[in-house]
Amino acid sequence: MLDPATGNLFAGTHKDGIYMSSDGGRTWDERDTGVAYKDIYTLHAAQYPEGLRLYAGTEPAYLYASDDLGMTWEELPGLPLGGC
């Protein structure tokens, strides 16, 4: 996923967490502090008036958000889905 405002690239991996590159993908830094599960199944960015918010979905089913370009993440309420 590309953040058009900063040019940062974000990648979610299966079994290895979330990474960010600020140099076009030449180097990558781990950016998943606060994410309990390393199986990342989706990443999404939304631009709000307050700034960019990143979302990450994991397996098992948890949803996390970051307001500081992935430096820290917080679990959002409403998941896990239980028996789904």
Per-residue pLDDT 10s for the chain (84 aa) are 888 888 999 999 999 999 999 999 999 999 999 999 999 999 999 989 998 999 999 999 999 999 999 999 999 987 665 545
Contact of 67 with 51, CB cutoff 8 Å:
yes
Domain spans of the chain? Answer: 9-75
> CB under 8 Å to 43, separation ≥6 — which residues?
1, 10, 11, 12, 18, 54, 55, 56, 57
Between the CA of residue 53 and those of 27, 78, 81, 83, 84, what are the distances in Å? 22, 18, 23, 29, 27
Whole-model pTM: value is 0.86
